[in-house]
Amino acid sequence: DAGVTQSPTHLIKTRGQHVTLRCSPISGHKSVSWYQQVLGQGPQFIFQYYEKEERGRGNFPDRFSARQFPNYSSELNVNALLLGDSALYLCASSLVPGGNYEQYFGPGTRLTVT
Amino acid sequence: GQNIDQPTEMTATEGAIVQINCTYQTSGFNGLFWYQQHAGEAPTFLSYNVLDGLEEKGRFSSFLSRSKGYSYLLLKELQMKDSASYLCAVRPIDSNYQLIWGAGTKLIIKP
């Protein structure tokens, strides 16, 4: 069975540009969460989507946006990139949000902003 | 406020036992997760605790005390492949949709 997939694996952008990151959840999973992980720190919650609706949002500026498609895949968009946006962006899927449902993480997209 | 504390780094010997502690202060509590993350890879699920007590799963066990805001992950019969970061994450009661993560404990296993 395929796990969570993310694309691209690595990305280099310059300040001010826009980026779109993609995530495909495990088949049957309807919830997708996005996290930002800076080296040496734990993941920081950005968004959670369930049944194509935003169900939670972390403390990130409006430059960050996301959406979930009818097939439950998801995109994370970041506008006006800053150097501080350089990080590993992780997507996690679960059957449904909350409770004891564990989140399965994708391999991540390593974004470097120069 | 919400805060999760873990030691930054620990060192242990192959074959030994190590305990990684996690303390948390969150706005309510709705479960605690432990994840393992090897360098350059995504986190993988290890355990979930919502009630007080010990959950055992093979070489790994996780303990929770809700009254003390405290958990630990116990790793037995350490193997070199256990060298990784161990992340503690809490689901706050006022948000069923997110996890609050600690910074992780980097565990170094020596022969």
Is A33 in contact with B98 (Cβ distance < 8 A)?
yes
Q: How confident is the model at residue B92 (pLDDT cuts 50, 70, 90)?
A: confident
Task: Report residue B99's pLDDT band, with 50, 70 and 90 as the boundaries.
Answer: confident
What's the gap between Cα A42 and its chain centre? 14
CA-to-CA separations, B94 to A100, B26, B31, B84, B91, in angstroms, rounded: 15, 10, 12, 31, 9
> Does the beta-carbon distance from A102 to B30 stay under 8 Å?
no
pLDDT value for A100: 67
The predicted pLDDT at position B28 comes to 76
Separation between Cα atoms, residue B14 and residue B77, nearest integer Å? 7
CA distance A45 to B99: 7
Lowest mean pLDDT among A14-23, A61-70, B7-16, B23-32: B23-32
Q: Chain A contact for B92, CB < 8 A?
A: no
B104:A42 CB<8 A: yes
Instruction: Grade residue B10 by pLDDT with cuts at 50, 70 and 90.
Output: very high
User: For position A79, what pLDDT does the model report?
Assistant: 97
Mean pLDDT of chain B: 92
**A-chain residues within 8 Å CB-CB of B44?**
105
pLDDT digits (tens, 9 = 90+) for B35-83: 999 988 889 999 999 999 999 989 999 999 999 999 999 999 999 999 9
Note the pLDDT of residue B29.
79
Q: Can you give the pLDDT of all 114 residues of chain A as single tens digits?
A: 679 999 999 999 999 999 999 999 999 999 999 999 998 899 999 999 999 999 889 999 999 999 999 999 999 999 999 999 999 999 999 887 766 678 899 999 999 999
- Report the residue from B30, B45, B98 with minimal CB separation from A45: B98
